[in-house]
Each structure stands twice: as C-alpha cells, then as structure tokens.
Amino acid sequence: MITKPKGTTDLYGIEGKKWEYVNSMIREFCEMYNYDYMRTPVFESSELYHRSVGETSDIVTKETYDFKDRHDRELTLRPEGTAGIVRSYIENKMYANNSDPVKVYYNYPMYRYERPQAGRMRELTQFGLEVLGGDDPMLDAEIISMPYRLFEELGIDNVTVMINSLGDKESRDNYRKTLVEYLTPKIDTLCSDCQNRLKTNPLRILDCKVDKDSEVLKNAPKIMDSLNDESKARFEKVLEYLRLMDIDYEIDQNIVRGLDYYDHTVFEYAVDIPELGSGATLGGGGRYNSLVEELGGPATSCVGFAAGLDRVVLAMDYLNLFDKLNKSIDCYVMYVNEEEKMKAIEITQNLRLNGIVTELNNTNKNLKAQFKSADKYNAKQLVILNSEDLFKGLVTVKDNITKEEQKIDEYELVDYLISNL
C-alpha cells in the first residue's frame, strides 16, 4: 500500500471543515484591513532562499528541500513566505509610481525537512502578512495588532505579544561585539549549535531552545543597552502605538527570530496552552529594511508576520473552539420510488440554489435507512415525499428536533424552511 510521506497529512471530513473555517476567517480579516491576497511559486531558485533567509539559519542549514531540475537548475521548495513576496515585489516593479505601501497576505503550504511533531509538519501551511514600502512605526504596530485581533476572533484569547528591538545596523554591530566578548570564554558550556553560531550568527544563541534556561544566557548582555538613541526612540514609538491599540505586550530581550533579515522590531505571540508545551508561540515577525535592496531592488522599508496554521488549528482544538463545526445540514429530502425521486431531485436543486444546505437519498435506500442517514447528517428538517401528496402539490416537512410534522404547499417550501431554520 502506498502511504503519504512522513510529515504530511490528509485533510477531510471535520478536519477539512476546521481548516476551511480558519482560512475563511483569515480572508475576511485581511480584506477588512485592506490587505490583498498574493501567491508566489511553490519552488524558486535556491539562491533566493539562501541569500534572503541566511546561510547560517536553521532553515537553510538543516531544513530546505533542495533539488535540481532536468536542466541542472538549483531549486528549493518554498520554506517561508517573505522571500518570494520580496522577489515578486522587485520583479514586477510594484514600487514604481506607488507612493503607498504595498500590503499583502498569503496563506499556502511551505516545506521544511524537520522532525515532525504536534503542530509542526514537513508540509506546513503558513499564513503571513507583508507591508513593503513604509518605515513608519505605526506599520509595525498595525502588523502586530492584526494577528493579535485575529487570534481573539478565532477564540484564542490568552495571547501575549512578546516584543524586542534589534536596532539599526550600528546598534546590532555594537551588540554583536559585546555579546561575542561575553560568550567566548563560556561557550563550551552551551550546546554544539550555539558553539557554531558564535562565529556565524551569535545573536541566534539567545534564541536557543536547548540552553534557554542556562545561567550563561540569562546573564548575557541585553541588546537594549546597545541601542543608539534613534533606535530607542523608534522602539518606544512602536510600544506607544500598541498601548493606543490596547495590545497586551511584554518586552523580551532574548527574541531575535530565526531568520537573518530582521532589524529593529521583532515579535512573537506567546500562548498559555499547556498541551502545546512551555513557551509555546503561534507565530511572529519583524521589520526587515534591507532585504529588498539585498535582493536587487531599491531601498525599501518592510515589516511582516507569519504563523503556522497547523499550530493555530491545534491550539483551537485544545481549546474546544471547533465544537460548532460538527457536521450538520439544514434539510434531508426523502423518497421511495422513481416518481418521487424525480421530484426530490428538483426540490433539492431548488433548495440548494436558495442557500439551504440539503442532502437527499443517493443510493435508493428504504425509508428507515433514510431516517438513519438524516440523523447521521444531523439534519434539522426532513422533507418526506409520497406520490399521493405530490399529486396534490404537497410535501411533508418534519422538524427533526421537535419531531412535529405538517404538510406544506410545494411552492411555499423554500420560504417555510428559511423561516424555520
């Protein structure tokens, strides 16, 4: 038997309904904030991700699906959303004659070769927001506020924004020097990944999941002490806007994010759901003011966010937020002979075209079996046809909850059901 690859999943039945519900909420929410949907290819030149994400990031060193096509071109399955959005922004010259920021959202599969676990798959679905062309701290606050409010709308109301600032290039360079001087004599006490990062990307050591409780990291120099006045003022403005928007936040100076292109504001969404483990997050993001230029475009200030929907759906499951999605239909149409079947098809089509979720006997079951099918679908109303009533232009409608029955004129059926559903 052929089975699905490790780290992937099939979605159907109630699980499919969960995902469709979350996807529809995301779409409505982003449209409300005037963000346009954007889709980029599922595979791109490997150079795009190796340059943008960073050769030293975990995604590139451990997780990308790299391959060569038949013309020996090096390609990579999309591991994250921002790089492709930026590539498209440059290639399609979205910056030309556009004084307003380009605001987009995406929601599609990504691919990372990592160890599968709850809420973390090799084929994952990621939802993200990007604002390209705007340096106002207000945009940082807007990007942070949108997922926060979306999580609330979905019912996940125990979320806290964890926020930090990496500052500008001058601030980061100063901090990097200070951090390396502090860590060098102590690096042997940390994990092998941290030892490698000391030379390649020392800021990532602060984000280590293995040594997060180490006294060495707890006592490490704080990046806020290395921020210049301009970076401090900018960060304070972001926090001011968040307070204005009534967004709960905490400053966490160990947040650096896993990708190399961030500067200034970085943030994550911490959630208190024990089943997800301690320190669980639903996503995060930050500002990246140099990435467009590094990939060959004009100097462009940007800010973005991304969340793995696998983890969001899992969180909602733990909080029992999908109970209302239990499969149910409005109406089940029942018949027993060919004459009644012809009328059942006609009635079912008319009900569906009027927005009434309707099913009918598709396998010539007897009446007793049809009642069982209606119960399986949790049908609210039953339309029961018989030849004698049809001759008079009548149908029997039974409320499947109260069990009350009455005969209705066939031409009044739609209005009757709409008023009683």
Could you tell me the mean pLDDT of each successive run of 10 residues in the chain, 421 residues long?
A: 91 91 95 96 92 58 84 94 95 87 96 79 94 95 96 92 91 85 82 80 78 79 88 96 95 75 90 83 92 92 94 92 82 94 94 95 89 92 93 93 92 93 85
Question: Residue 53's pLDDT is what?
Answer: 65
Residues near 374 by Cβ (< 8 Å), separated by ≥ 6?
332, 334, 382, 400
66-68 and 43-45 beta bridge pairing? unpaired
Read off the tokens for 218. Answer: 């707890």
Residue range(s) of every CATH 3.30.930.10 domain in the chain: 13-168+228-323
| Cα 45 to Cα 153: distance, rounded to the nearest angstrom | 37
CATH superfamily of 13-168+228-323: Bira Bifunctional Protein; Domain 2 (3.30.930.10)
Please tell me the pTM assigned to this model: 0.83
Just give the CATH number of 328-420. Answer: 3.40.50.800
Q: What is the DSSP letter of 92?
A: T
Q: What is the DSSP letter of 4?
A: P
Residue range(s) of every CATH 3.40.50.800 domain in the chain: 328-420
